[in-house]
Structure 1
Amino acid sequence: MTETKHVQIPVGNDRLDLSRPHFVGIGGVGMSALARMLVEQGAQVSGSDLNTTDVTEHLVAAGCRIHAGHHVSHLKEPSVVVWSSVIAEDNLELAAARSAGIAIAHRSHVLAQLMNDGGRRSVVVAGTHGKSTTTAMLAAALGQRDPSWAGGGALLDGTNAHHGAGDVFIAEGDESDRSITHYRPGVAVLLNADHDHPENYVDLAETIAVFRDFALAAETLVVSADDPGARAVTELVRGREGLRVVTFGQSKGADVRVTGIEAAGPCTWVQLEDLDGTPVTLTVRVPGIHNALNAVAAFAAGRVLGMDAVELAAGLGGFEGIERRMSLAGTADGVSVYDSFAHHPTAISADLAAARTLTTGRTVVVFEPRGWARTAALGADMGHALAAADEIVVLPVYSTVSVLAAGISTDEMAKAAVAAGGRVHQVTGLGEAEGVVAGLVRPGDLVLLMGTGDVNSLGARILAHRAATVLS
């Protein structure tokens, strides 16, 4: 996720007129999902962003009116102006909306209203890692019921939201700016809780407190029995009046208990015991044990909603993944390239473990750390996690937020990786990274492009380089 500022999001009690919304920063993952959902409902959606991207092009094709750059002239009598936590308070369009008396709403207020409208059953998926994948998995699992859903990652066809005719609304909740506490879901799903977003959280205890408040606002909590942070949340809320707790995982005593996991390349087969003890087998077509457990979380949430176990398993079996979550970018001359969104030590370790199951050759990771605060706080832990790769190419820190960055670099990360046995190549940019990777890889290797910034743009360049090598 984008490194956010420490923001104070006002409580949104007023009902919003969403007939003509204007999104400031419409190309963001959360903003674009809401824009897509609203335009599918018939709203006249407009928005602006600094640059045009594949995301904004998809939105234009869907019927949104989008401007490049921010300017007061882009406000064409909108019913509401929507902002997210990465937007500066002095943004020209926000300032103009305030002066004109136009309603202004945080994206979480819009999502909360959409979720609560129409009497639909709502599910919010939360956690430090895996929530985008699990949100999309649950939407796939319920596919025959045509649910509405809004995620933080796009399916492989570029879709990150859908306004469905069914009676279920599935959304990804964002803890980075604490906006997750604005929701009142029927079902809250909590995958894990790690210390992250150091620009907004002092320590893990603060993160657990936010997830506790999120859980207490729900009717049912579907929560990992394996993750220590999630277990801490469970201990704080179990027994509270009006809250049902359903656990899932490999731990003894989990309500939906995994009894076996078998991985073979990009597929994993999961044996589990359903809520009533009935055995169920899930086929998960995205790599990694962590993704297998994400599928179990989606299954458990579906069962809490009353969906048939066989139907859920079939829907999950058809899920093919989302962009940049261990997704295959391509292969050339015996080298495969995968995209990973991992940017936290826990996620880095999980995706590198998954990469090991996809190749008998070496794993070469190109890592682009995101955010000055995260790099300063977690850089050494990132380096230790990266040491699981055979070769590590480290790019400079990527950040879209203006913060004091004096003295912060990737040096501590590199030192930690070397100390843990890693081979590190620090580079100055994407161009140098491309050349370093070209000199490192050989047939049979897997290149993992890891991070949330621009590192994934290397995929096509690396594949083209390998293809040219074959022809030369």
Structure 2
Amino acid sequence: MALGAKKIHFIGIGGIGISALAKFLRAQGAEVSGSDIAEGCVTKELKQMGIKVSIPHTKEAICKQDLVIHSAIIKPDNIELQTAHEQGIPVLSRKESLKMILGDKEVFAVAGAHGKSTTTAILSAILKDASALIGAESKEFHSNTRALKSNRVVFEADESDKSFLECNPSCAIVTNAEPEHMETYAHDLRQFHKAYKDFLNLARICIFNAEDSFLGTLKDLKKPCIRLYPSQDLREISYFCENGIPKTRFHLVCEGKDYGTFQVYGLGEHIAIDAALAVLAAAQVIPLEEISKNIQNYCGIKKRFDFLTHGKCTIIDDYAHHPTEIATTLKALKTYQNLNSIKPLTAIWQPHKYSRVIDNLQGFVECFTGVDKLVILPVYAVGENAIPLDFESLFARYTPIFADCVVREGETLLLKKDNQTLERLDNGIVVGFNAGNLTYALRGGI
């Protein structure tokens, strides 16, 4: 089915991934509509673009469209799904639709447990004439999507539901392959690793971090590969702040080729790695001089090392919800501390899912090493049943503060428990680690 002139309805259009597809197809000429259970920032943005969005789901939203696409969380008893089936309208999940949507595109697909949103956003900044579909909001174009008519697409590929195997990668980029979302792979590491290998083998060319414990073992891939060895290929890494903006500078030499020196928004070796992978991918299609210029367009992504205030109290929102990600961000923040002589460093952690905490418990216990103060909020359960966990004993080494919620007041944060203020955080660096609703509290409810 050619989708350019079709009527397409998206159920669950407020989701970050499915909204990106809706915006992209609209730019290709499709007539797009959608629905969701409740209003949100994304649905408001879509309405402002002129897309008809129904809140909540209603059978009247289904009116002889050519195709219905639904997010993964939509259940078979959804009234719109049932109505679509009754009307004989083809219905696809987001995962199933990818091959149809991206099948004739030149796709630069970025996968990995950590850093894929950042790498995708950096690559989209470099390849400025390509469409971009990111699992986070780019501060460059204030959206998760840059929808152009270009045949080239920069795409954040998702391993959580194996949908990265459906995205038709021309160039496959992998930041790392640390086990995550193992329920999708029956908790079988062999299945998980096979999926990554299959993803790489789908592409015309593969680019990946060869110092990853699994990716470094891949010697029999069927396609040309560029292997980045960060410890030897990233040279002269340095960090600095320019008008308060944190930046990383590095020199890249990979497989005997000198790519030159680049500087990019953000701090830390992980930023240098993400940027280097983006540079190696972009170098397949544009000159290095253009890459060096365009990479300056990258100015971060929302909720990733996201500075909300600068001043006596520097508030930062970070999407890290895995021990590796938290430790990496804290390492970068300590660099920022040293550059700016700021103390203390307070971490506010909103654990995400009981299952994730249990699966990575020792990692969580260790990853906050070096913080001056640790605040622990209730687990953001995402529909899971509560599992008893003795956070007080497990994290006793940090003498943590246990709060119910955080309230933003000007450029300070109030820690609340039982509707009483426990403490006011009004100096140093305060970073919130979460994939839940803490992000809104840090922003004052926005």
TM-score between the two structures when normalised by the length of structure 1: 0.84
Instruction: Give 3-state SS (helix, strand or coil) of 1:45's partner.
Output: strand
CA offsets per residue over residues 413-439 of structure 1, 9 Å max, x none? x54433xx3231222334598325972
CA contact 2:352–2:380 (8 Å) conserved in 1? yes
> Match for 2:37: what amino acid?
L
Amino acid in structure 1 at the alignment position of 2:137: A
Report which of the two has the higher share of strand: 2
Instruction: Please report how far the alpha carbon of residue 370 of structure 1 lies from its aligned counterpart in structure 2 after TM superposition.
Output: 1.9
Question: Hey, what does 2:346 align to over in structure 1?
Answer: 364
Task: Indicate yes or no: 2:313 matched with 1:335.
Answer: yes
Q: Which residue of the other structure, out of 210, 228, 242, is the alignment partner of 1:248?
A: 228
Q: Name the counterpart of 1:386.
A: 368
Deviation at 1:408, TM superposition (A): 4.4
**Equivalent position of 1:314 in the other structure:** 293
Question: Alpha-carbon deviation of 1:96?
Answer: 2.2
Q: Deviations over 1:341-383 (max 9, x none)?
A: 1111111111111122223212211122222321232234223
Q: Return the offset for 1:123.
A: 1.1
Matches within 5 A, 1:147-186: 147-156=130-139, 157-186=141-170
- For 1:153, what is the secondary structure of its paired residue? strand
Query: Could you tell me how far 1:262 is from its partner in structure 2?
Result: 0.7
Distance 1:73 1:167, change over 3 A: closer
| 2:380 matches 1:398 | yes
1:260 to 226, 236, 239: 236
Q: Deviations over 1:157-187 (max 9, x none)?
A: 5311122244421111110011111233111
Aligned to 2:77: 90
Q: 2:220 aligns with which of 221, 228, 239?
A: 239
After superposition, the Cα gap between the structure-2 partners of 1:434 and 1:379, relative to the gap in structure 1 and judged at 3 Å, is: farther
Q: Contact (CA 8 Å) 1:37, 1:162: kept in 2 or not?
A: yes
CA contact (8 A) 2:259 2:288 kept: no
RMSD between aligned residues: 2.4
1:99 to 78, 81, 86: 86
CA contact 2:350–2:379 (8 Å) conserved in 1: yes
- Runs of 5+ in structure 2 lacking a partner? none
**Partner of 2:271 in structure 1?**
291
Report the Cα distance in structure 2 between the residues aligned to 1:380 and 1:314, rounded to whole angstroms: 42
Say which SS state the counterpart of residue 389 (structure 1) adopts: coil
Decide whether the 8 Å contact of 1:349 with 1:388 is kept in 2.
Answer: no
Aligned 8 A contact 1:283 1:317 in 2: yes
C-alpha distance 44-407 of structure 1, shift in aligned 2 (>3 A): same
Distance 1:64 1:50, change over 3 A: same
CA distance in 1, matches of 2:422, 2:273: 35
- After TM superposition, the structure 1 = structure 2 runs for residues 7-86 of structure 1, keeping only pairs within 5 Å, are 19-86=6-73
Residues in 2 aligned to 1:72 and 1:17: alpha-carbon distance in whole angstroms: 25
- Tell me which residue corresponds to 2:106: 121
C-alpha deviation, 1:454, in angstroms: 0.8
Distance 1:372 1:22 in 2: 34
- Seen in structure 2, the aligned counterparts of structure 1 residues 462 and 56 have a Cα distance that, compared at 3 Å, is closer
Please give the alpha-carbon distance, in whole angstroms, between the structure 2 residues aligned to 1:84 and 1:388.
Answer: 40
What code does the residue aligned with 2:111 have?
A: A
- C-alpha change, 1:274 and 1:231, in structure 2 (3 Å) is closer
Whichever structure has more helix as a proportion of its residues is 1
The 1-side partners of 2:154 and 2:401 are apart by: 41
Where do 5+ consecutive residues of structure 1 fail to align?
Answer: 1-13, 464-472
Letter in 2 for 1:270: F
Structure 1 residues 416 and 309: alpha-carbon distance in aligned structure 2, compared to 1, 3 A threshold? farther
2:399 aligned with 1:423, yes or no?
A: yes
SS of the residue corresponding to residue 235 of structure 2 reads strand
Match of 1:456 among 432, 439, 444: 439
Contact kept in structure 2, 1:338 and 1:449, CA below 8 Å: yes
Secondary structure of 2:184's counterpart equals coil
The superposition leaves residues 300-345 of structure 1 with CA deviations (integer Å, 9 ceiling, x where unpaired) of: 1112x2321121121112210110010111235x001111011111
Task: Report Cα offsets for 1:181-228 as digits up to 9, x if no partner.
Answer: 123311110110112124324154432221111111112110102221
Report deviation, 1:275. Answer: 5.2
> Does the aligned pair in 2 maintain the 1:386–1:417 contact within 8 Å?
no
Read off the aligned partner of 2:324 and give its amino acid letter.
Answer: T
Report the AA paired with residue 174 of structure 1.
Answer: D
Contact 2:175 2:277 in 1 (8 A): yes
Secondary structure (helix, strand or coil) at the match of 2:308 reads strand
Q: Are 1:370 and 1:397, in contact at CA under 8 Å, matched by a contact in 2? A: yes
Distance of 2:181 and 2:27 partners within structure 1: 33
What is the match of residue 11 of structure 1? none
1 CA distance for matches of 2:444 and 2:167? 42
Structure 2 SS opposite 1:434: strand
Structure 1 residue 67 displacement after superposition: 1.5
Question: C-alpha distance in 2, partners of 1:317/1:16?
Answer: 34
Distance in 2 (CA, whole Å) between partners of 1:134 and 1:279 is: 18
Aligned length: 428
Asked if the contact 2:106–2:151 (Cα under 8 Å) also holds between the matched residues in 1, the reply is: yes
- Check conservation: 1:366, 1:455, Cα contact below 8 A: no
Compared CA separation, residues 59 and 461, structure 1 to 2 (3 A) = closer
* Helix, strand or coil at the partner of 2:200: helix
CA contact (8 A) 1:434 1:461 kept: no
For residues 130-168 of structure 1, what are the alpha-carbon distances to aligned partners after superposition, in whole Å with 9 as ceiling and x for unaligned? 11111111111111xx11111101112531112224442
